Amino acid sequence: MKNNLFLPFALPDIGEEEIAEVVDSLKSGWVTTGAKTKKFEQDFAEFVGENIDAVAVNSATAGLHLALEAIGIGLDDEVITTSYTFTATAEVIRYLGANPVFVDVDPITFNIDISKIESAITSRTKAIIPVHFAGLACDMDSIIDIAKRHNLKVIEDAAHALPARYKGNLIGSLQTDATVYSFYATKTITTGEGGMIVTRDRDIAKRCRVMRLHGISKDAFDRYSSTKPAWHYEVVAPGYKYNMTDIAASMGIHQLRKAEGFQLRRQKLATFYDHELEGLPIILPPHAPKGDLHAWHLYVIRLTDDVCVSRDDFIRQMADKGIGCSVHFIPLHLHPYWRDTYALKPEDFPHALCSYEHAVSLPLYTKMTDADASRVVAAIKTVLSGR
């Protein structure tokens, strides 16, 4: 029988500050891209580091698309990434007529396998998209070194990675071409829907700003809020409709201020899980190396081969006990579109396949109480005991 007090897999943590800021935007009469969005961009750039430009968009998918377009990815180019990610990472490559080239993941971290990248490079390769899975930074020194030696661009998919650090440096501040964050409802901070591109390259930032709003040379806010006639604009490229609204940015302004506190709470919950789940027939997620910081967007366990239930049955039984779990991710090479378009087989990426077949994402979010976490642990122990 299902528990009436169901604990969902994820919930956003929205405070009175966010609500008041949204109400202020609604009352102001300006609800689309405007002053609040500009403030969120400025705050975010300052948060990430010096000489950073931040461009707010309506999703991380939009951000990845814009970043790839800005670095010149086009027809029949190739972009290396991992199969163990959400489809958005790869689909944006196809938007531009280019092709993703998938490589396997490291079996411990689920991040891109550094040893597989160079063998995937061809004369058509133009960029690499590393994905910081679950909030754990990839081996960025190795990726940047490979990119420099082969004259490739690097766009980081940091959808899981705020405020992750690599060797003491915030993800987004490294020597890559651009980094893209997600503010979807389940992420470490949220604007409901939304994303942010950060870059040190002013040309990339300028191109992203133009292309996020129909290729128009001026933002609507600049034209409509001017006290002097400013109606004239020019369309300089066939752009997209990817701008963030002030309503979303109103949430982001305050969520960003809480990002480091949110990480501390997530880390505390992850440490509790580590302690309570030790010794069970599961593989616990890796922690960040010394000098790095895990964002703990996800806490992914892997069931060992000797457990008494299958992965799918485990999730069903957890739901019956009132605990919502999920799976991150179904590898892209198993999905019909990617499988059929690129003639991929399940065994082509054995680590991604094995990780997927055993992986379970446990609830991990800042609104969880210690009692909630204890409920999760108790349910896991019951399911794994076969009772």
Alpha-carbon gap, residue 12 to 366, rounded angstroms: 8
Q: How far is CA 353 from the centre of its chain?
A: 21
Answer yes or no: do 271 and 290 share one domain: yes
**Gap between the terminal Cα atoms of the chain:** 14
Answer yes or no: do 29 and 152 share one domain: yes
The pLDDT value given to residue 21: 98
Structural domain boundaries enclosing 25: 16-258
Sheet hosting strand 282-283, strand order edge to edge: 282-283, 299-303, 359-362
User: Which stretch of DSSP H or E encloses residue 101?
Assistant: strand 99-103
The pLDDT value given to residue 275: 98
The pLDDT value given to residue 217: 84
Full DSSP string of 2-65: --SS-B-S------HHHHHHHHHHHHHT--SSSHHHHHHHHHHHHHH-TT-EEEEES-HHHHHH
Per annotation, catalytic residue among 36, 126, 153, 187 = 187
The pLDDT value given to residue 261: 98
CATH number at residue 41: 3.40.640.10
199 C-beta neighbours (distance < 10 Å), count: 28
Q: Which of 212, 227, 258 is the last residue of a domain?
A: 258
In a domain, 52, yes or no: yes
Answer yes or no: do 39 and 145 share one domain: yes
Alpha-carbon gap, residue 167 to 244, rounded angstroms: 31
What is the domain count for the chain?
A: 2
CATH number at residue 349: 3.90.1150.10
> What's phi and psi for 19, nearest 5 deg?
-60, -45
In a domain, 2, yes or no: no
Answer yes or no: do 223 and 160 share one domain: yes
- Across the range 313-318, mean pLDDT stands at 98
In a domain, 100, yes or no: yes
In a domain, 114, yes or no: yes
Answer yes or no: do 41 and 189 share one domain: yes
The pLDDT value given to residue 137: 98
The pLDDT value given to residue 218: 76
Answer yes or no: do 292 and 220 share one domain: no
Residue 303, pLDDT above cutoff 90:
yes
- Across the range 53-81, mean pLDDT stands at 98
Q: Is residue 126 annotated as part of the catalytic site, yes or no?
A: no
Mean pLDDT estimate for the chain: 96
In a domain, 159, yes or no: yes
Answer yes or no: do 234 and 267 share one domain: no
Give per-residue pLDDT as tens, 284-295.
999 999 999 999
Q: Give the pLDDT band (50/70/90) at residue 232.
A: confident
Give per-residue pLDDT as tens, 175-220.
999 999 999 999 999 999 999 999 999 999 999 999 999 999 876 6
- In the chain, % of residues over pLDDT 90: 94
Which tokens is 352 given?
Answer: 């991604």
Answer yes or no: do 138 and 41 share one domain: yes
Alpha-carbon gap, residue 176 to 67, rounded angstroms: 12
Measure the CA dihedral 331/154/173/91, to 10°: -40
The pLDDT value given to residue 295: 98
Answer yes or no: do 180 and 296 share one domain: no
Residue 160, pLDDT above cutoff 70:
yes
Residue 106, pLDDT above cutoff 80:
yes
In a domain, 196, yes or no: yes
In a domain, 189, yes or no: yes
Answer yes or no: do 145 and 292 share one domain: no
Answer yes or no: do 219 and 277 share one domain: no
Asked if 66 and 57 count as a contact pair (C-beta separation under 8 A), the reply is yes
The pLDDT value given to residue 221: 62
Q: Which of 224, 258, 292 is the last residue of a domain?
A: 258
Q: What three-state secondary structure class fits 134?
A: helix
In a domain, 6, yes or no: no
Q: What three-state secondary structure class fits 225?
A: coil
Report the alpha-carbon angle 86-90-92, nearest 5: 115
The pLDDT value given to residue 1: 43
Answer yes or no: do 68 and 196 share one domain: yes
